[in-house]
Structure 1
Amino acid sequence: MNKQQITNILPGLAICICIALLSTFLGTYIQSIGSATIAILLGIIAGNTCCKNERFTAGTKFAEGTLLSCSIVLLGTTIHIQALFLLGVYGVGFILMQLLLTIVSAIWIGKKLGFSENFQLLMASGNGVCGSSAIASTAPVIGANDTEKGISITIVNLLGTVLMLLLPLVATVLYNGETNQSAALLGGILQSVGQVVASGSLMDESIKELALLFKVIRILFLVVVVLSFSYWKQRSGSHEQAVKQKKTNIPWYIIGFFLMCTLFSLGVLSPTLSHISKSISGAFELIALAGIGMHIKIDQLIAYGMKASLYGLCIGLIQIGSAILLIYVLL
């Protein structure tokens, strides 16, 4: 990267960093919404008011591209493959079935509502695996545009915020706070790790810890989901140049994620380094979400608005229904 490129990146990146810092501050006071959603909303406001100028574009692109990719790689330092064995066959089976049902239903509903195939796959990965990180991982390999990526991240985060507050109530009514079943409900549905932590904290410490374990299992399937969607697009031939460019390449951040996960599982990376990496990953993600928000135009959001919200609501209801059924059968 030369001096001119750095100069071009700085204005937009500085705005994204400021938004991330402000969202972190506000998130401590508005915990029901969370920093991620606040960062997106502030980004949308900035991108449609005071920061419309083209000079911010290079920096926001860097934030939502390079920084978010680095965030995904660093996320791997927090995932231990041993989690697969701690939950047992039925626990892993629950997550796998829930993941498949979420993906299939997201694609089916998206088709019925007339959304593009790219948008369907982004909503499927975001709701099925790990929210913003999964969408950011999927978008480049399927050739999704900025609007599809931005709107899907916004809808997934808003849905996650609603479910974060709703699921503890559902778990209390259905399971009377029983640890295993309540944790499976939270960890098997909620989109982001932060939402799992926040939702679990509304119930019990043991539920929160076990819910995180269920969530970790879902994140372990990130690589499989991204590569499967990439293969799907290649076979369908429904996006042209982007597939041709990526046809034989596994994205570097997916390789990095799997490598970091392996190194952490083998004990090469210490828990201290893992904790530091998690903090950096979270910071990079917030900066990236601010950049993504800045690329969402209000008129585009309105155009997607009600229909996309209905899409998210339908996915959320199916996730809850399928999780309750699978918990009854398997756990």
Structure 2
Amino acid sequence: MVATRLPGLGVAAAGGGVALLVHALVPVLSPTLVAIVLGIVVAGSGRLDASTGPGLRVASRRVLRVGVALLGLQLLLPEIVALGWPLLVVVAAVVLLGIAGTLALGRLLGVPPERSLLVACGFSICGAAAVAAVEGVRESKDEDVATAVSLVVVFGSVVMLALPLGAVALGFDPVAAGAWSGASIHEVGQVVVAGGLVGGAALQVAVAVKLGRVLMLAPVLAAISLRSRRTAAVRPPLVPGFVLAFVACAALRTFAAVPDVALDGAGWVQAGALAMAMFALGCGLEVAALRRTGAPVLALAGGATVLVALLGLPAAFVAG
């Protein structure tokens, strides 16, 4: 059984490695988006045979969940608590109201509920990792996952560049600008870039606020899983194993002295696992499927971006 998965896992590892290399050479290019596009190109070339199928399926599911679980090692709870309760209230509001508002907008636009949920969580929590985590609970279609990830990267990159300019135009100091960035931008990596563009103390505040949103991933996934148990014919676990692993990693980082070399290694594994998974998802897609994204989903992504930015704006006044 293991041997049948090796060809596909090898292809996914190579594709993920290329995506990480491209990101290292051109940091503005997200490795998740590069991996998906590369997977689509490779699959479209007709060079993949049936032997890669089992391994690619493992990469797009199980390897993906490893990446999400290791994300917990980025969380240092005392630093998040140190933000203070007013800022934490804003963080919770961004996540909860962002998800609720995006789902409501999706219904108005006629976007399928599953796709709306993936977009809502990706835009409101932590980008591609949140999309992947929801997929792990809901077993979403590869087409929906790839679409949501692509939208997260594209719209998040726009906000990554536009929000620092907006903060300057509004006269925010670096701390206020960093808090708004962390509360509003989709991906952790995009928050780092935006914080660096503002400079000063912005980066540290931006990352701390963003990780507060990442911390919301576990309770949101538990709630989604609980709802899925009520409606699904085959009931998923109340709390999926990879969510428990995510919480365990966060607890380990908080209560144990994890060496820097271990954190760096885990960071590479986490990035590699997500890149592998996104490449595998890309291999299962057709260009025609992405063309069916349509105006309603693009409008949903734009609306969710604006909503989250507005919900995150109070963070600037609380922090500043």
The alignment's TM-score, normalised by the length of structure 2, stands at 0.92
What is the 5 A alignment of 1:245-284? Answer: 245-246=235-236, 248-284=237-273
Q: Which of the residues 307, 310, 319 maps onto 2:308?
A: 319
> How far apart in 2 are the matches of 1:206 and 1:157?
25
What is the 5 A alignment of 1:68-87? Answer: 68-87=64-83
* Residue type at the aligned position of 1:16: A
Identify if the C-alpha distance between structure 1 residues 156 and 46 changes in structure 2 by more than 3 Å, giving closer, same or farther. same
Identify if the C-alpha distance between structure 1 residues 90 and 71 changes in structure 2 by more than 3 Å, giving closer, same or farther. same
**Partner-residue secondary structure (3-state), 1:50:** coil
Residue 190 of structure 2 is matched in structure 1 by: 195
Unaligned 5+ residue runs, structure 1?
A: none
The alignment's TM-score, normalised by the length of structure 1, stands at 0.89
Whether contact under 8 Å (2:183, 2:309) holds in the other structure is no
> How far apart in 2 are the matches of 1:267 and 1:328?
34
> How far apart in 1 are the matches of 2:318 and 2:260?
36
Whether contact under 8 Å (1:94, 1:327) holds in the other structure is no
Q: Which of the residues 129, 134, 145 maps onto 1:133?
A: 129
Identify if the C-alpha distance between structure 1 residues 51 and 212 changes in structure 2 by more than 3 Å, giving closer, same or farther. farther
* Residue type at the aligned position of 2:242: Y
Whether contact under 8 Å (2:175, 2:319) holds in the other structure is no
Residues 26-64 of structure 1 show CA distances to partners (whole Å, capped at 9, x for unaligned) of 223432222222112212222222345433222221112
What is the 5 A alignment of 1:7-26? Answer: 7-26=3-22
* Residue type at the aligned position of 1:104: A
Identify if the C-alpha distance between structure 1 residues 328 and 209 changes in structure 2 by more than 3 Å, giving closer, same or farther. closer
Following superposition, the deviation at residue 222 of structure 1 comes to: 0.7
Q: Within the alignment, does 1:45 sit opposite 2:41 as a pair?
A: yes
**Partner-residue secondary structure (3-state), 1:175:** coil
Residues 295-314 of structure 1 show CA distances to partners (whole Å, capped at 9, x for unaligned) of 22211111114332222111
Give RMSD over aligned pairs: 2.0
What is the 5 A alignment of 1:168-317? Answer: 168-176=164-172, 178-235=173-230, 237=231, 240-241=232-233, 244-246=234-236, 248-317=237-306
> How far apart in 2 are the matches of 1:175 and 1:288?
41
Following superposition, which runs of at least 4 residues in structure 1 exceed 6 angstroms of deviation?
none
Q: Within the alignment, does 1:33 sit opposite 2:29 as a pair?
A: yes
Residues 160-192 of structure 1 show CA distances to partners (whole Å, capped at 9, x for unaligned) of 22222222212221234x122111121112222
